[in-house]
Structure 1
Amino acid sequence: MNSTNGLRRVAATRYVTPFREGGSLPGLVEADDLGMYVLKFRGAGQGVKALIAEIVVGELARRLDFRVPEIVLVDLDPELARAEPDQEVQELLRASGGVNLGLDYLPGSFDYNPVVRDPSVEDATRLLWLDALTLNVDRSWRNPNTLLWHRDLWLIDHGASLYFHHSWNPERFPAAKYRFDAADHLMLPFAGPLAGVDAELAARVTPELVREVLALVPDEWLAQDEVFAEPRAAYERFFAARLADRTWVDELEAARVARV
């Protein structure tokens, strides 16, 4: 057990069970620190780009005072597949040898439902802003990707964020504006005016903070990028452009007002 670029690194010792509700078939594993982690596999359909988004957006959220389960890097030995009877899981384990991503398992947590428990206006507004900044298209009523644990709201599953990096296009990147449709966002009905939250959070997402978060991504994941020789710099340019031209905040406010 050690630290890599600020993230702890553990080794998976036992595959426990799959989470069938996840499209990429994440699984629960036990590691050599005796901790239990929700494992996101590098061999899943979205590949390491989804894992990069998990780190970048999850750790950015943490630094903006959202609750996010600890993110760790998990070494996976494909030999663990030998003890798994499910063929689909076997294939996934065999395809995911090496460094994967894990999130601390929150036992007893359950999907957050704002109908059962209203979020605060501040929490709803801040989360709406964060998801729009990072282009997280996967936090809706159908798939909330938030948990309630010990009465607190926790954020999970950011692999669908930063969707542009699945098809980098240097001719139009970095674009100051990418499409984000807030109509179905989990927090839109509960959010308040965005001006104050925008001023606060935009000032906190500094170039230094972005570089700090990007430094947590393993070099070997970024080395697989086929477009940019220096992908960290490309991500930095995205955030700089997104923050410099915040017309998307006006669009969020218009969606909020229309929803109210």
Structure 2
Amino acid sequence: MTLPQHLVPSLDGVRPGDPVTVDGDEAHHAVVVRRLRVGEELQLTDGLGRVATGAVTATGKREFTVEVAAVDDLAEPRPRVTVVQALPKGERGELAVEVLTEIGVGRIVPWAAARSVAVWKGERAVKSHAKWQATAREAAKQSRRAWHPEVLPLASTAEVAALIAGADVTVVLHEDATEPLAALALPDDGDIVVVVGPEGGLTDDEVAGFVGVGAVAVRMGIEVLRTSTAGVAAVAALLSRTSRWG
């Protein structure tokens, strides 16, 4: 069974034999909710590739200490996948973030598409972005990821176009596209971007603008997927053709 994982701000300089104390909400949830006990083995990670494994030596209400037995530095998985996720309505945004994190996406970019039903403005934007970040953090720990995904701030269509221009391969999921997803050539390294539209679909201008800066509009069969599940289906299909899943 895989050891449970906890996120810490930093593991810089940590070596086998060192004690590491975890405090705050992370420790409170582990000790009070999950009932962490002395002697239990677990993982600590900084979310940037470093993982420390060890056993709990002490616990308090809002802290616990681990004696580190081993430290591993893991390379970021390549190719890196970024998903541009148009804002869905309700809780479907958190669902999309959760499954995208579980499958190994490196960056998640919330996007204010023209036909997005949800709107992030002012305080709501701050709270919604924080909720996506928290969802990604918890899903990454559940998935035992050494590299936790970035959840970028809300992007405009122009900012998405700039992101596409800098990627090695970008696919725009579009039900009217003629190019099949499986026909694309993929890099063994570099950056892959997947653009997922909103419930109301992409506009012609959005598709044309993204294709104009290097994206390829693709289809995934005859079914029309929900915006919250289309991204994970596309990423799975892409990763299955790379060395990450090979």
Same fold flag (TM > 0.5): no
Higher share in strand: 2
Q: Could you state the TM-score of these two structures normalised by the residue count of structure 2?
A: 0.28
Name the larger-Rg structure.
Answer: 2
